[in-house]
Amino acid sequence: MRYADVIGSWNTYLANENNGRGVVLIGHSQGASMIYQMLEKDIVGSPAQEKLIAVHAIGYETVIDPSTGRASGLPVCSSPSETGCIVSFASFRESSPPPEDSFFGKAQDGKRAVCTNPAALGGGQGDLKAYMPRQSLGRLAPNDYGVAVDTPFVSLPGLLSAQCLANDTHDWLAVTIHADPADPRADDIPGDLVFNGKVVPDWGLHLVDMNLAMGNLVDLARTQEQAWLDAQNAE
């Protein structure tokens, strides 16, 4: 039923509202799962694929097909100006990589999961333009950012960087916190799943996957949009 609702909305949008425009599909966790189903069942190989500027499907198992190097029928983005491709990652603290049994960042049957770093699509480390929530999910109390905050989101320039890492079982976005105890702002970020007072390491920073790279993803979408428009105008 969930998928029927999503694909019904997509088809209605294409028929009545799209008017030839390009589209960036964005989803997180279960939303990303719905996007992958859309790609595999209804979009890839259809006329609608030509409308895809990019797919930003974050925080879900994104499996690379070893025979094609693609995920759900699309290439993995490797540069900001590439279009029609997928951006996906599962974030963990650099100091706390995914446990072997973590679902996030792990593909089954010996395959590999996608990790694309929105801050450095070509590889390596990049600075994250995070927009962190003022208060955590399920909490009324605000997070402690070292100063009083009355806006819904908090920008933390220079505090976070990330790079894609891999081991025998997982591929993940490792987030490094560049804390400075001498300055007044926060030396840590929220985002861990806490149960009975203990951090659940399997989840990593899943709750704030999108927040961590929000600014990077917005910038990337703008660049991809322009590249898509340029390609359309050149035809």
In a domain, 234, yes or no: no
Q: Kindly indicate the confidence band of residue 113, based on its pLDDT and cuts at 50, 70 and 90.
A: very high
pLDDT exceeds cutoff 70 at 123: yes
Q: Kindly indicate the confidence band of residue 138, based on its pLDDT and cuts at 50, 70 and 90.
A: low
| Domain ranges, residue 156 | 2-223
* Residue 76 DSSP symbol: B
Classified as helix, coil or strand, 130 is: coil
The residue-averaged pLDDT of 40-44 equals 96
In a domain, 76, yes or no: yes
In a domain, 210, yes or no: yes
CB 52 within 8 A of CB 43: yes
In a domain, 229, yes or no: no
pLDDT exceeds cutoff 50 at 140: no
In a domain, 235, yes or no: no
What tokens were used for 183? 């300055």
In a domain, 19, yes or no: yes
pLDDT exceeds cutoff 70 at 176: yes
Question: What pLDDT sits at residue 198?
Answer: 87
List, for residues 3-12, the tens digit of each pLDDT value.
899 999 999 9
Name the pairing type of β-strands 52-58 and 85-87: parallel
Task: Please measure the distance between the N-terminal and C-terminal CA atoms of the chain and give it in whole angstroms.
Answer: 39
Amino acid symbol at 120: A
In a domain, 31, yes or no: yes
In a domain, 77, yes or no: yes
User: For the residues of 164-200, what is the DSSP string, one character each?
Assistant: EEE-SSBEEEEEEE---TTSSS-SS-----EETTEE-
Rg (CA), the chain: 18
Long-range pairs, 29-34, Cβ under 8 A, ≥24:
29/58, 29/59, 29/60, 29/206, 29/209, 30/2, 30/60, 31/57, 32/57, 32/58, 32/59, 32/60, 32/62, 32/88, 33/60, 34/2, 34/3, 34/6
Q: Report the distance separating Cα 206 and Cα 212, nearest Å.
A: 10
Could you list the beta-strand ranges (E) of the chain.
Answer: 23-28, 52-58, 85-87, 91-93, 126-127, 131-133, 153-155, 160-166, 171-177, 194-195, 198-199
Q: What's the whole-model pTM score?
A: 0.93
Q: Report the distance separating Cα 63 and Cα 57, nearest Å.
A: 12
What tokens were used for 147? 């100063």
In the chain, the number of structural domains is 1
